Structure 1
Amino acid sequence: MVASLRSWVANEGGKHFVLILWLGANTWLFMKTFLLYFTGQQYHYLYKMLGCPTEKKETFGIHLRVVGDWTERFTQMLLPQPRMDLEILPMVQQRRYPKLYIDGPFGSPSEEVFNYDVSVCVAGGIGVTPFACVLHALLDGWTGFRLQRLYFVWVCRELQSFYWFSELLCALHHKLWQENRPDYFNLKLYVSQKDNLQSMSEEKYRPLTSRLLVGRPRWKLLFDEIGKTNKHKRVGVFCCGPKGISKTLHKLCNSARSSGTTFEFNKESFG
């Protein structure tokens, strides 16, 4: 996941950096790390959830991209350079790790995704992070939920961003096809930046390639399509992304009454 710190005043002294981690479809927490210093006016850090806890798995992990001074220092604290005169096993046994303080869990709007027969999750860029735990929960076992159909719309500027959760998306796609429910998960990927556009050519990403669209979503047409397919139903709409997308979806939810379908808007905040 990405945490973006903008317009900080550069000065000396220690700082604490608080990172929000989603642990599940209905829980999230803070991970507090120690920020030693910084030298610029803007930082971008990339964290990626390796997995979210589910009923069958009680652990979670993150991947830290080492970019800049404090991430390099943090990595050195976690993975100190081995001494040549030490064997590997004793080194591992003697290693002392810094403490990471975890607060939570706290409720999240995304927990309501499972309380509708039909839900729509719309993510802009790194706003996909809260919904990744929804996908993990479905991958762990989708039959135990009330949810019968999920529309998943992810908008990114660059194609490379889709690799953040490409394996998770493909895994859920394959699982539902094997269990004869290909209509359960409706995936649409939009890449808005057309310059130097490449393709996800790897064979394992074929399910994503066939659902990749260039440009921005036509939200009104999308809502009309969902309304016609799910007549006279309550549809939960969940958004985590730029204010422009959120405002547009909120307005459509208040005005759209296609085929008797009611759209209920839920805003997720992240970053």
Structure 2
Amino acid sequence: MAEPVIEARGLGIKFAMNRRRKRSLREMFIHGNKRDPNPTGSDFWPLRDISFEIGQGECVGIVGKNGTGKSTLLKMIAGVLIPDEGSVEVRGKVAPLLELRAGFNDQLTGRENVQLVGSLHGMSPKMIEEKFDEIVEFANIREGYIDMPVRHYSSGMKVRLGFALISQLQHPIMLVDEVLAVGDKAFKKKCYDAIKRMLADNRTMVLVSHSESDLKRFCNRGLYVRDGALVLDSDIQSALDAYNADVKAEQEAKTAKPAEEKKKPTGEDGNGKAA
């Protein structure tokens, strides 16, 4: 059996709630030593005891509500975050597109960011030069904007340029976080075509998206994450069905609670009158 390209074993990460921070001079002047503006609190585990394997050529969707650790899991796979428990091993170069700002430096121009980020991912200056016009055309960056600082770009422009650049990499593993939620139909079609080409080339992809149609379009497998735990590792339809069933149950419970409260008697005789 082929060795998995991504292997997670007992993966967990903790964040400190109400982490202690350095106090400003203004706070020290006003409050002296009497007030700690952010006392140390307890640790919070957004993810814990996560184990799975992903083989070459698989496209796996991570399913779950906002705040359940989907993006955090992608960042641990990419090596951006270091786990506090367990381990994750990635066998092969990773092309990550993990956030709306696409890893760009806001002070640099679009051209400079393509050169910087491309070189950081192993593209040679010659390759960047050869692919540059194609990257800009794919991203649909209007004339003049490519030489403006990206702080003037919309979030959509940043993502388009980031995806256009990352899709040029030949890395065997790609991590994509909510990129397909940004852009018009024409850009989405370009993204769909690029993803299809990469998957046809037997590359591996881990995808986070709130679009069920996108997940079902590309993914042959789903990891359903709930309350910091991996509760289901199955085909993508089963993972989505489990997620939707839980969402429906939560909504029904919220609806039923106010109805039950209205039915409660306000007096001891059960008729709303005091006994």
Higher share in strand = 1
TM-score (norm 2): 0.36
Bigger relative CO (Cα 8 Å, ≥ 6 apart): 2
